[in-house]
Structure 1
Amino acid sequence: MADEQTNRAAFRKQEQYCITMDAPITARICAGLAESLDRETRTGARALDWPGDPTADALPLRTVGGLHALDLSGKDTELSRLFAGAVTDPAEVIHILRASFAAHDDALCPWLDGPPQTNEPGRSAGLMVGMIEIVRRFGQPIELLEIGSSAGLNLLMDRYRFDLGGTLAGPADSPVTIRPEWRGSPPPALPVGFASTRGVDVQPIDATDPAAAERLRAYVWADNPERLGRLTAGIEMQRAAPVQLEDGDAADWLDARLAEPQADGVTRVLMHSVVWQYLGAERQARITAAMEAAGAKATRARPLGWVRFEPDRGLNPRQEIWVRSWPGGGDFVKLAHSQAHGAWVEMF
């Protein structure tokens, strides 16, 4: 049952997440939305009467995404001042937001229809930490399988350049260099080569489609212009050479990929980032069982790895990088923490 106070509180909770993640502009907008939403517009009424769990449904991010798309369109100069960080007075923030909803209700309301579409290339830094560990155990090249690929931007990790605390990986002439703030010791300097990269998503996004690209850009927080530049460059890389991204169920697709022949000397690796929580218990169990069954048949000549970049199960708004591999069995080993968008990585 809809509860207005719960729905307003979700925007305040998102404000706190944004503060923790050093995103003061987006935090300020979320705080303003908690106070400015009303039933004078369809968008405001839908948000206040949201029937589901507003946090699980990412209601605040849906709303901010619509506003950011309006900002990027250049159609609301006052709103653009807010997204540029030029407005800090809470009363003025509320006034601008109410005016924007009143003037652009028809454009903003559809942004509540679907979940945010975020595909963050910066997460590839944490994922590359996992790949280096897999290479340390078994060597290269890697046959990369990604579930929950979204727009496939992390499938470009074989084409990105990485600077991981001074450890360099990837092509030196890449148009994208991913260089997070580094905490702790860097990973070992090992070459990481890829035999192939393939992915699946239940609703894959064609990042080369202008409308899809606009939607992806809208969900990049205004506090992070470097993320927007990286996203744009990644889209151009896909236009130059598309990734192998399929439409399908993650568990079904993985079953099919694991059943394919694996070449000697190639390490097969399952990878995913910020997707596990959305799969549901049944798919999680199927994927785990499939990996363990395939792992039981793995050999030194045909090894299997699993690299996860998923949320901390505690209260911290950060991600954890875990690795598991076969042969050798054993449980997952946690290698590092990361900011959700890859702004920093902290090795253990």
Structure 2
Amino acid sequence: MADEKTNRGAFLIQQHYCDANAAPIYGRMCGALAAGLTRDTAIGARILDWPGEPTRDALPLRLFGGLHALVLRGADDALAAVYAGAVTGEAEILPILERVLGEQEAALMPWLDGPPQTNEPGRSGALMLGLIEIARACGPKIELLEIGSSAGLNLLIDRYRFDLGGSVSGPGDAPVTITPEWKGPPAPAVPVAIVSVRGCDVNPMDATDPAVAARLAAYGWPETPARLTRVRAAIAMLAERGVDLVEADAADWIEARLAEPQAAGVTRVLMHSVVWQYLPEPVAERIRVAMQAAGAAATAERPLGWVMMEPDRALGHQVIRARSKPGDGAWVTVGTSHAHGTWIDTSGQVGYAAPGAALPEAARVKV
């Protein structure tokens, strides 16, 4: 049943994430809509009467993607001023947003129909940190399986160059170098040799399609224009040489991949970032069961790994974790990250799990 208080609260939760991730423009927009959104527009009514779980559904980011698309095509000067950070008062922002919701109903309504696909190459830095932990435990060779691959930009992880706190790896001539702001000790100098990369998505996107590229650009946050440059460079890499990305249910696909023969001396690794919250619980449970069974059968010659970058609501940041089998299979927290990989923290400062420590139960994603 729709719950207006919960639906408004989703914007306050998103505001918390925005404030924690240096995104004041979206933070102010969230605050304005949480306090003052009305049913005077069809968009407003749909949001306030949202029948699902609005935070899990990323409802605010669905709307903001549509609004950003309007800005990027020059459709509304006042909205562009909000997105440029020139209008800072929530009381001034609200009437602009309310007007745009009414005037641009036809353009905005479809953006509410599906979750955002923020296919951010910067997240590969956090994922690589997790893969380094797998390589440390199991050896350098990795067969990589990603679920929720969206347009496949993180399937280029073997072609990106990385500078993780001064620990540099990847092709020297890579068109994209992932260089997050680093807090804490650098990534361990452990070699990672990715021998294959495959991915699936329930609704994969062809980023080389100009319309899709524009949609991906709209999901970028206005505070970080450098992301747009990086996304476009990654799309150019895809155009030059594609990736192995298929349309599939995540559980169906993982079950099938885990049933395939595994090469000796290669660790098979499941990887995902900001995906788990979107999985229907029956799908998530099937993946847990499949990974548990595969882990029980793993050997030192054919290990199994799992790497994730998923949000923790209490921190407002992403937690980077890894686990491997054989062994005790315990989750290891290797760091925390900005939602888009802008920074990575391995310092173990207050509010963060220390590198190598198990994540406290209260902060865990259920996997």
Which TM-score tier does this pair reach, normalised by the shorter chain? Answer: over 0.9
Q: Is the 8 A contact 2:20 2:317 kept in 1?
A: no
Question: Alpha carbons of 1:250 and 1:53: their partners in 2 closer, same or farther (altered >3 Å)?
Answer: closer
Residue identity matched to 1:114: G
Q: Partners of 1:75 and 1:278 in 2: how far apart?
A: 31
Question: Alpha carbons of 1:105 and 1:295: their partners in 2 closer, same or farther (altered >3 Å)?
Answer: closer
Aligned to 2:364: none
Aligned to 2:278: 278
Aligned to 2:263: 263
- Once structures 1 and 2 are overlaid, which stretch shifts more, 248-257 or 276-285? 276-285
Q: Under a length normalisation based on structure 1, what TM-score does the superposition of the two structures give?
A: 0.93
Q: Tell me how far 1:124 sits from its aligned partner.
A: 1.1
- Helix, strand or coil: the match of 1:121? coil
User: 1:217-275: CA deviations, max 9, x gaps?
Assistant: 11111111122222221111111111101111212211221222222232221111122
Residue identity matched to 1:248: A
Does the alignment pair 1:97 with 2:97? yes
Matches within 5 A, 1:289-328: 289-312=289-312, 315-328=314-327
Residue identity matched to 1:236: A
Aligned to 2:247: 247
Residue identity matched to 2:184: G
Q: Is the 8 A contact 1:143 1:194 kept in 2?
A: yes
- Once structures 1 and 2 are overlaid, which stretch shifts more, 276-285 or 133-142? 276-285
Question: Alpha carbons of 1:10 and 1:310: their partners in 2 closer, same or farther (altered >3 Å)?
Answer: closer
Q: Tell me how far 1:342 sits from its aligned partner.
A: 1.4
Q: Partners of 1:97 and 1:108 in 2: how far apart?
A: 12
Q: Tell me how far 1:80 sits from its aligned partner.
A: 0.9
Q: Is the 8 A contact 2:4 2:48 kept in 1?
A: yes
Matches within 5 A, 1:1-348: 1-312=1-312, 315-347=314-346, 348=355
Q: Partners of 1:9 and 1:190 in 2: how far apart?
A: 43
User: 1:119-168: CA deviations, max 9, x gaps?
Assistant: 22211111101111222223222111111212211111001111110001
Residue identity matched to 2:289: A
Q: Tell me how far 1:92 sits from its aligned partner.
A: 2.6
Q: Under a length normalisation based on structure 2, what TM-score does the superposition of the two structures give?
A: 0.88
Q: Partners of 1:209 and 1:118 in 2: how far apart?
A: 16
Question: Alpha carbons of 1:289 and 1:58: their partners in 2 closer, same or farther (altered >3 Å)?
Answer: closer
Question: Alpha carbons of 1:150 and 1:34: their partners in 2 closer, same or farther (altered >3 Å)?
Answer: same
Q: Partners of 2:5 and 2:59 in 1: how far apart?
A: 14
Q: Is the 8 A contact 2:28 2:89 kept in 1?
A: no
Q: Tell me how far 1:51 sits from its aligned partner.
A: 2.7
User: 1:182-201: CA deviations, max 9, x gaps?
Assistant: 12111222332211100111
Q: Is the 8 A contact 1:30 1:64 kept in 2?
A: no
Q: Which runs of 5+ in 2 are unaligned?
A: 347-354, 356-367
Paired residue total: 347
Residue identity matched to 2:126: G
Q: Partners of 2:2 and 2:284 in 1: how far apart?
A: 30
Q: Tell me how far 1:334 sits from its aligned partner.
A: 1.7
Q: Partners of 1:305 and 1:252 in 2: how far apart?
A: 18
Q: Partners of 2:54 and 2:254 in 1: how far apart?
A: 31
Q: Tell me how far 1:23 sits from its aligned partner.
A: 0.2
Residue identity matched to 2:322: V
Q: Is the 8 A contact 1:36 1:97 kept in 2?
A: no
Residue identity matched to 1:100: V
The two structures, once aligned, show a CA RMSD in angstroms of 1.9
Q: Partners of 1:340 and 1:287 in 2: how far apart?
A: 23
Q: Tell me how far 1:35 sits from its aligned partner.
A: 4.4
Question: Alpha carbons of 1:154 and 1:97: their partners in 2 closer, same or farther (altered >3 Å)?
Answer: same
Q: Which runs of 5+ in 1 are unaligned?
A: none
Q: Is the 8 A contact 2:269 2:306 kept in 1?
A: yes
Q: Tell me how far 1:36 sits from its aligned partner.
A: 4.9
Q: Is the 8 A contact 2:41 2:98 kept in 1?
A: no
Q: Is the 8 A contact 1:170 1:192 kept in 2?
A: no
Q: Partners of 1:102 and 1:320 in 2: how far apart?
A: 38
